[in-house]
Chain A
């Protein structure tokens, strides 16, 4: 009989071998004190945060803080109940109305996290006769969501509308509904979906729906921050948008919006919505207020993209390989996990926090130093970050050119 955790032993051994016997443990970073959206004290050191997904820097917006304080005083620290029992307060309905208003959609459902929104919607929406066609690089919450579905799950090649077309073509004579699942911006490398091409493929076939996870693109893309569909101008072609309040919206929670007339049915059949406690009123209040700030956040979006371009240009000039251009995610590709760890430790010891992202959580098996920008970063902060990257890179010796990014073979859109 194997011991309970035996099957994880190889992974733990791999972790121990990688960590060695010294240096900061990247899996145990603790923020001792958060100073602002962009700075914290970590291990006694003043640290610039460049890996928080706090794209618009709204975590300390005074209007949201006040609304949260007021809701906390008025409604208490938690609802202690499910949305379908005692956990729907007036604030939850107001937030759903605000989401409908924000996206221009008829229906909205608020979940307790973005992960739960994907888990709930994807496990419930499609039935045994149906098909889900998901981009291969989708987030873990999407993989876990579809695993709970009774539909057939098919992956298509990342950002490859031609491959999607081929796979939908093979299903053309199958009677079931089909759901395409993509993300507006993919979190690890920060690349966007080719949404116009995907919509064109969708329109070639019958009974095909499109769901886009806009977790990293709401607040970032589009004049009013509605994400990639707004930027591309095809909001009516995206049947379901899933998103989160834990990035640009600056708090926590998830949602799904749609114009489907029967959308509200999901409230009675989605287990990740029914069998969990609803968001605390203070969180709901701050999300509602921040949603308004996101909509009117044109200036913040400009600052965010200017910051992203500044960091991208600075790191590229150092000879580092950066994955995506014009993206709020600036991911530096390193040769292997060991180099990535050494580099990451050098950065944290010099007062720069980025995400260390290693396979299997990364596409192509990349070992990444993943930075994400904030509208609140100053040019001085980013120049300091670039200077520290330069010092550490020289020390670690990875300026030696990393091989160019592999180009995945693409199928042509028929």
Chain B
């Protein structure tokens, strides 16, 4: 999903803050950090994490877009798009 749009630093920082509580690998966060490969998120963790992100931004993230979200940047872009709608 990584494309032309660059997410804002605020959105990324907010996601990093949420990710702290889910990160069991100790990996540092960057826009290109991948949920599955770098953070070892399994389907259960993804679901719990998405629920917290939804609460934090007061949005609903459709399940349909999850397969296209590989990195933190992908998620940040998607979140901003939903917030803007």
Residues on the B chain within 8 Å of A136, using CB:
47, 51
Q: Is the CB of B63 within 8 A of A360?
A: no
Closest to A170 in B: B60
Once bound together, how far apart are the Cα atoms of A152 and B64, in whole Å?
A: 6
Residues on the A chain within 8 Å of B59, using CB:
170
Does A398 make an interface contact (CB < 8 A)?
no
Residues on the A chain within 8 Å of B42, using CB:
360
Interface size on A, residues (CB 8 A): 15
Partner of B63, one of A154, A157, A166, A167: A154
Does B3 make an interface contact (CB < 8 A)?
no
Once bound together, how far apart are the Cα atoms of A155 and B44, in whole Å?
A: 13
Does B43 make an interface contact (CB < 8 A)?
yes
* Chain B, 35-54, CB within 8 A of any chain A CB: 42-44, 47, 51
* Chain A, 156-183, CB within 8 A of any chain B CB: 157, 166-167, 170-171
Q: Is the CB of A146 within 8 A of B63?
A: yes
Residues on the B chain within 8 Å of A154, using CB:
60-63
Min CB distance, A239 to chain B, in Å?
22
Residues on the B chain within 8 Å of A155, using CB:
47, 51, 63
Q: Is the CB of B64 within 8 A of A360?
A: no
Min CB distance, B47 to chain A, in Å?
7
Residues on the B chain within 8 Å of A359, using CB:
44
Residues on the B chain within 8 Å of A167, using CB:
60
Once bound together, how far apart are the Cα atoms of A365 and B47, in whole Å?
A: 12
Partner of A153, one of B44, B47, B58, B64: B64
Closest to A359 in B: B44
Q: Is the CB of B62 within 8 A of A152?
A: yes
List chain A positions with a Cβ less than 8 A from chain B: 136, 146-147, 152-155, 157, 166-167, 170-171, 359-360, 365
When A and B form their complex, which 9 residue pairs have the shortest distance between CB atoms, in order from nearest?
Answer: A153-B63, A152-B62, A154-B60, A360-B44, A167-B60, A153-B62, A153-B64, A154-B62, A170-B60
List chain B positions with a Cβ less than 8 A from chain A: 42-44, 47, 51, 58-64
Please name 23 pairs of A and B residues whose Cβ atoms are closer than 8 Å in the assembled complex, sorted by A.
Answer: A136-B47, A136-B51, A146-B63, A152-B62, A152-B64, A153-B63, A153-B64, A154-B60, A154-B61, A154-B62, A154-B63, A155-B47, A155-B51, A155-B63, A157-B51, A167-B60, A170-B59, A171-B60, A359-B44, A360-B42, A360-B43, A360-B44, A365-B44
With A152-B62, A154-B63, A155-B47 known, 12 other A-B pairs at CB within 8 A are A146-B63, A147-B63, A152-B64, A153-B64, A154-B61, A154-B62, A155-B63, A166-B58, A360-B42, A360-B43, A360-B44, A365-B44
